[in-house]
Amino acid sequence: MKTIGLIGGMSWESTAVYYEIINKEINKRLGGVHSGKIVLYSFDFEEIEKLQHEGKWNELTHKLIDAAQKLEKAGAELILICTNTMHKMFDEVASNVSCPMIHIADATAEEIKKMGLSKVGLLGTKFTMEQDFYRERFRQHGIETLIPEPDEREIIHSVIYNELVIGLIRDESRQEFIRIINKLHERGAQGVVLGCTEIPLLIKQEHIDIPVFDTTKIHALKAVELAL
């Protein structure tokens, strides 16, 4: 079994889910009292969130590179960035470590293609929805991405940063997300990508009639596959 390195704390709410999924899946596959070999570097999200909204992406890149290198020194044999937004600097981080890294959008695209879909809706932070780093990755896989309208993107972004990252789950917010997803479906989305690792805390497949792609679960399970 390879040691999995997690760059987490963005936020810790979803990082805890990564830890749980990886350990449960390894135990399911290996039985007994097996669990994952995991090294975790967890950020103080207050610092990360501030730099994101100040647009200081170069500083954030250096922080992630430092975290990845520390994980590698601690024995990590593959590394995950436990957040969609920070995949904006994935290539820079990956080029500064020698062990492989798993891109969350690549793992998700594999699952979308397995279902034969070619057009999906994308929910996430405004950075993920509006900037090209995520949608371009899907484009390379032949997948078209639809994003919500500007006012809807504001709602999603606000719920993520003001509710989900502190573990606040409100039914009113869930209903807003469902409404937005249904509008994306009306515009032609065949499925919806929960492109923020906190959104699966709020939205599950049972809430939506079209396929839901939980990027947290997909990413974590891909790590297990490669670790074993």
Catalytic residue among 15, 61, 83, 125: 83
pLDDT digits (tens, 9 = 90+) for 55-86: 999 999 999 999 999 999 999 999 999 999 99
Residue 196 a catalytic site member? yes
- Ramachandran bin of 55, using left for φ above 0, alpha for ψ from -120 to 50, beta for the remaining angles: left
- What structural domains and CATH numbers belong to the chain? 4-103+217-227 (3.40.50.1860), 104-214 (3.40.50.1860)
Res 76: pLDDT:
98
pLDDT band at 29 (very low <50, low <70, confident <90, very high): very high
Structure tokens at 183: 């509008």
Q: Phi and psi dihedrals of 211, rounded to 5?
A: -60, 135
Mean pLDDT taken over the chain: 97
Catalytic residue among 196, 197, 215, 216: 196
pLDDT at 112: 98
Q: What integer pLDDT is reported at residue 53 of this predicted model?
A: 95
DSSP state letters, 36-68: --EEEEE--HHHHHHHHHTT-HHHHHHHHHHHH
CB proximity list for 24: less than 8 A, separation 6 or greater: none
pLDDT per residue over 40-59, tens digit each?
999 999 999 999 999 999 99
Backbone phi and psi for residue 223, each to the nearest 5 degrees, phi listed first:
-65, -40
Q: Are 172 and 159 in contact (CB under 8 A)?
A: no
pLDDT, tens digit (0-9, with 9 covering 90-100), for 155-170:
999 999 999 999 999 9
- The 10s digit of each residue's pLDDT in 199-213 is 999 999 999 999 999
Q: In 3D, which of 116, 110, 64, 71 has the Cα closest to residue 85?
A: 64
Buried b (16+ CB within 10 A) or exposed e, 78-105: bbbbbbbbbbbbbeebbeebebebbbbb
How many CB atoms within 10 Å of residue 172? Answer: 8
H/E segment holding residue 7 = strand 4-8
pLDDT band at 36 (very low <50, low <70, confident <90, very high): very high
